[in-house]
Chain A
Amino acid sequence: MITRRRLLEGASAGAALAGFGGLARSPRAYAGELDLPAALPSGLRGEAALEALPGKKPLIKMSYRPPNYETPIEYFRDPITPNDAFFVRYHLSDIPDATDKAIDPTSWKVVVGGDGANREVALTLDDLKALPAAEVVAVNQCSGNRRGLFQPHVPGVEWGYGAMGCARWKGARLKDVLDKAGVKKEAIEIVLNGADGPPVDKTPDFIKSIPVWKAMEDTTLIAYEMNGAPLPHLNGAPARIIVPGWTGTYWMKHIISIKAVTRPEASFWMNPAYRIPVGKFPVVARFITQETAANTPITEMVVNSLITSHADGASVKAGSLTVGGIAWDGGYGIRGVEVSTDGGKSWRAATLGQDLGRFAFRPFSAGVPASSGKLTVMARATNNIGQTQTAELIANPAGYHHNVMHSVTLTVG
């Protein structure tokens, strides 16, 4: 149970915020910011806490084991999320220690093969680094980010806004690694497995696949660096798969096995898990070998945005107010962001900030007039293929793809 006292005693809580865009905050102010959205389940609100995993700043703990910790919104004021504030998400609780030989950088290897490959090869970290290096700035967002905001609620990890982050990833191209094994024409999917697994052997291991066409894109990587540093242990050290534009479920951490296969992967985590109903979302990137009449694997992220300059409920001075945040999508790039202060009746264009590439968070800011009273500011992003955010939740059983327009209500004094 989280208490104000425990938060105040967490000496690192204040330090975590000291670097935020010059907005120094006391631990007390930070504690106040863990006033999580009222729309989250009350059970989660009572249990969530700011807690630091090894090597991490205090993040918002959803569950201890497996560890699921989300990033506080304040960190998204910068389009690059720091490694030590990057969210942590595991399905299964048997996570190798950093010194385990399966993931120790000096002993780690990834085996590449499968019935859709000409041969089986094993690559060490040095082998991987000997391949041409590629970099991409890309958002890694959990499929279920904002699940906790679904009304009615659906079971699962009840994430708020922070099951996402954006980093500069560096590694080898997956296609260069696959070329070492030689992918046959008959191969349809690339199957990914990591060194982490279930605590009991009857629980399905977390195994995912992606279509061969996605695996062969220039931007799909096996990354060994994140923001210029080795991957943090709990973000997939020493190497993980980067699938820009697609939700985090495919970004296999601690990658140790890559297989080209000629039949659709049938793991629990491909079906029934991570499915969206057919026809409900505007999906361009299809995963045809996994589709059924009723549902399809979740693939690319839906266009979305988040106001980060002000916390919901914050107080501001009357006059001219600048609000800002970030926007992102499944890799088409952000065409524009608009803000509204009248509940969506009228909109004004925001100014877009630094462009770190079509897979990255795109900052935005807009000036809005603020006179005394309550002011609700809403943001809406549109991408380069004309997709925009929804005003009303698109219900689906697993609570994926929440891109309802975000708003904050400020007290202007």
Chain B
Amino acid sequence: MRIVTALTAALVSSLVALPSRADEKPVELKKAPGVEKVEGNCAACHSLDYIKMNSPFMSAATWDAEVTKMIKAFGAPISDADAAAIKDYLKANYGG
């Protein structure tokens, strides 16, 4: 089950389309610029309810730190451009 190959952005995108868990229902995020970057990157590893659960109290700096942690500590294969778009989206739509 574990994906042991190096992940490319393309593979991440294909993962999103896979059924994840049978009990997982879609989590609707606010429709705003950048939402497709969030869905395309973040949902590869975790359901998007993590974002809503951690709102709206997160400051801009905390959201920045969280996205950086996902990349640096958790190894999420997210491009710099996508990371910037994700941070902007989270701060604008789920920030405190």
Q: Do the beta carbons of B54 and A41 come within 8 Å of each other?
A: yes
Q: Is B56 an interface residue (CB 8 A)?
A: yes
Q: Is A47 an interface residue (CB 8 A)?
A: yes
Per the bound structure, the CA–CA distance linking A100 and B62 in Å amounts to 38
Q: Do the beta carbons of A62 and B53 come within 8 Å of each other?
A: yes
Known: A63-B46, A64-B27, A93-B45. Is A202-B77 also a contact (CB below 8 A)?
Answer: yes
Q: Do the beta carbons of A54 and B23 come within 8 Å of each other?
A: yes
Q: Which of A171-179, A193-201, A302-310, A329-337 makes up part of the contact surface?
A: A193-201
Q: Do the beta carbons of B57 and A94 come within 8 Å of each other?
A: no
Chain B CB within 10 A, most for which of A48, A67, A201: A201
Q: Is B38 an interface residue (CB 8 A)?
A: no
Known: A155-B66, A200-B44. Is A41-B53 also a contact (CB below 8 A)?
Answer: yes
Known: A41-B57, A201-B2. Is A64-B49 also a contact (CB below 8 A)?
Answer: yes
Contact-residue bracket for chain B: 35 or more
Describe A's contact surface by its main secondary structure: loop
Which single residue of chain A is at the shortest CB-CB distance from B28? A1
0 or 1 for each of A146-171: is its CB under 8 Å from B? (1 = yes): 00000011011110000000000000
A159 CB → nearest B CB, Å: 10
Which single residue of chain B is at the shortest CB-CB distance from A268? B73
Q: Is B14 an interface residue (CB 8 A)?
A: no
Q: Is B55 an interface residue (CB 8 A)?
A: yes
Which single residue of chain A is at the shortest CB-CB distance from B56? A43
Per the bound structure, the CA–CA distance linking A203 and B74 in Å amounts to 4
Enumerate B57-72 residues with CB–CB distance to A below 8 Å. Answer: 57-58, 62, 66
Which single residue of chain A is at the shortest CB-CB distance from B74? A203
Q: Do the beta carbons of A157 and B44 come within 8 Å of each other?
A: no
Enumerate A240-272 residues with CB–CB distance to B below 8 Å. Answer: 268
Q: Do the beta carbons of B47 and A63 come within 8 Å of each other?
A: yes
Cβ 8 A contact of A153, one of B57, B77, B94: B57
Per the bound structure, the CA–CA distance linking A41 and B96 in Å amounts to 11
Known: A96-B1, A155-B66, A200-B7. Is A65-B46 also a contact (CB below 8 A)?
Answer: yes
Per the bound structure, the CA–CA distance linking A66 and B94 in Å amounts to 21
Q: Is B25 an interface residue (CB 8 A)?
A: yes
Q: Do the beta carbons of B74 and A204 come within 8 Å of each other?
A: yes
Cβ 8 A contact of B21, one of A41, A47, A65: A65
Q: Do the beta carbons of B57 and A200 come within 8 Å of each other?
A: no
Contacts of B51 in A (CB 8 A): 43
Q: Is A367 an interface residue (CB 8 A)?
A: no
Which single residue of chain A is at the shortest CB-CB distance from B51? A43
Q: Do the beta carbons of B66 and A65 come within 8 Å of each other?
A: no
Describe B's contact surface by its main secondary structure: loop
Per the bound structure, the CA–CA distance linking A43 and B66 in Å amounts to 17
Enumerate B12-65 residues with CB–CB distance to A below 8 Å. Answer: 15, 20-25, 27-28, 44-47, 49-58, 62
A193 CB → nearest B CB, Å: 13
Per the bound structure, the CA–CA distance linking A293 and B53 in Å amounts to 33
Q: Do the beta carbons of A155 and B62 come within 8 Å of each other?
A: yes
Per the bound structure, the CA–CA distance linking A61 and B27 in Å amounts to 12
Q: Is A53 an interface residue (CB 8 A)?
A: yes
Q: Do the beta carbons of A94 and B49 come within 8 Å of each other?
A: no
Q: Do the beta carbons of A43 and B54 come within 8 Å of each other?
A: yes
Q: Do the beta carbons of A202 and B20 come within 8 Å of each other?
A: no
Known: A47-B27, A200-B76, A268-B73. Is A65-B7 also a contact (CB below 8 A)?
Answer: no
Contacts of A204 in B (CB 8 A): 73-75
Q: Do the beta carbons of A66 and B75 come within 8 Å of each other?
A: no
B16 CB → nearest A CB, Å: 11
Q: Do the beta carbons of A63 and B49 come within 8 Å of each other?
A: yes
Contacts of A155 in B (CB 8 A): 54, 58, 62, 66
Per the bound structure, the CA–CA distance linking A66 and B21 in Å amounts to 9
Q: Which residues of B contact A (CB under 8 A)?
A: 1-7, 15, 20-25, 27-28, 44-47, 49-58, 62, 66, 73-77, 94
Q: What are 25 sample pairs from A and B whose C-beta atoms fall under 8 A apart?
A: A41-B53, A41-B54, A43-B53, A43-B57, A44-B52, A44-B53, A46-B52, A47-B27, A63-B47, A63-B49, A64-B20, A64-B25, A66-B46, A67-B21, A155-B54, A155-B66, A199-B44, A200-B44, A200-B75, A201-B2, A202-B7, A202-B74, A202-B75, A204-B74, A204-B75
Q: Which 6 A-B pairs have the closest CB atoms?
A: A202-B75, A43-B55, A64-B47, A64-B24, A153-B57, A65-B47
Q: Which residues of A contact B (CB under 8 A)?
A: 1, 41-44, 46-48, 51-54, 61-67, 93-94, 96, 100, 152-153, 155-158, 197-204, 268
